[in-house]
Structure 1
């Protein structure tokens, strides 16, 4: 049974990823502030197993301990080999405002959730799984965004954090190298997915986010990916392994 650790599994793309993987008889560990009863119920009727780990990725400490508990809980599966995959999916968009008007606490939380938490969780994951390197295929998947490359008025923190995540991917790839037992890492932008984040964008005052009409039009014309579509394609890309160590990918280009 392969093991997938997914942050932000309570809704949106994270929920869709967890559901798909559970249906395929995998063990899924969901890390988020709130539980998802639907996933727990689904796990009771399929061969896969779902474990919920309550943890606020916006907090300043406790990330190593959180990951240590997870790795210890999946020890049996990892000792048997197979895949062990960490998917950094959790993310927050706000504050949506020009930087000069943005709330300081919201700015700090944005960077904490979108960049600092993946940095700390990846560090812990690599350290705690080093002993597994010869018998387990270790993979880290960072869910990025087109905003990592394109600046948006009102998204300064989000754009900066996602760009930082892409660079984190490159740095870890350089450190791990191309050896047979190296942990592999990739950054993937899933495209514009129809989630609560998109609802938040469409509900924002255009004065705070001038690009709002573009996202409203994407919804009106049915050009958003469903979470299920994005999850299916993302899992296929990760599994086929047809990507280089440290690649920065966009599902829309694949």
Structure 2
């Protein structure tokens, strides 16, 4: 049985991706700071092919310890493929430069940028000697390429993860002995908690807030279920190009 690892699995897109993998007969390891009743139902109804790891993805030492345990599980099970979905992220802090809190900047940079790098590096390093194909998806955003007032931290971390994905993809592609892939995926605007946070911003901190209020008012937000299904169709039906940033707009 092939295996999927999904960060930020307790809600929104991460939850729907986990559910979609389970429905496609994958074993799923979900990671997040908390669980919910729906995830408990996964464990009861999916014959123990779903497991949850409670983790603070902003804690480097905790990442190293818990992912070493994940690596050992992978080695024991020897799946042909492992899908890694780096979905966890945060749009905060939404505020102008000069008004930002240092602790929130640090947390956002860690979660949006450093955490995927650490996870990817650890898995590729520890599984290099095994015949296991690793397909990594770094969830990004259109904000990576378009400056948005009040989003200096989110914009820059997503731009950084895009360039990281392109460089890592280039390196993987140049290794003729490797089948591993790394891509980016821009899910577009979805009806998730992140949009709720955005709509709760202050006008002076976020000049485009009315645009995002209109997304909700006019039913222009995609459901995370639709987006997760599009992602899995991409992964299962497309010959992925290393380092490419795929967008939901080209998949629907």
Alignment partner of 1:228 is 2:225? yes
Counterparts of 1:80-99 in structure 2, within 5 Å, are 81-99=79-97
- Tell me whether 1:250 sits opposite 2:247 in the alignment: yes
**Are the aligned partners of 1:82 and 1:136 in contact in 2 as well (CA < 8 Å)?**
yes
Deviation sequence 1:164-222 (CA, Å, 0-9, x none)? 11111111112212535331000010010110000111111111111111111111111
Rounded Cα–Cα distance in structure 1 between residues aligned with 2:42 and 2:157? 33
CA drift of 1:68 comes to: 1.2
Root mean square deviation, CA, Å: 1.5
Distance 2:72 2:107 in 1: 28
SS of residue in 1 equivalent to 2:129? helix
Identify which range, 84-93 or 179-188, moves more after superposition: 179-188
Distance 1:83 1:36 in 2: 28
> Residue 187 of structure 1 contacts residue 248 of structure 1 at CA under 8 Å; is this kept in 2?
yes
Deviates more, 1:48-57 or 1:149-158: 48-57
Structure 1, unmatched stretches of 5+, are: none
Q: Aligned to 1:175, which of 165, 171, 176?
A: 171
The one of 238, 241, 249 equivalent to 1:241 is 238
SS at match of 1:209: coil
Is 1:23–1:48's contact at 8 Å kept on the other side of the alignment? no
Aligned residue pairs: how many? 250
Instruction: Say whether the 8 Å CA contact 2:7–2:87 is kept in structure 1.
Output: yes
Of 128, 137, 152, which residue of structure 1 is paired with 2:148?
Answer: 152
Q: Secondary structure at the match of 1:230?
A: helix
1:17 aligned partner = 17
The alignment status of 1:212 with 2:209, answered yes or no, reads yes
Verify the 8 A CA contact 2:90 2:112 in the aligned structure 1: yes
Could you tell me how far apart the structure 2 residues matched to 1:147 and 1:48 are? 37
Contact 1:40 1:50 in 2 (8 A): no
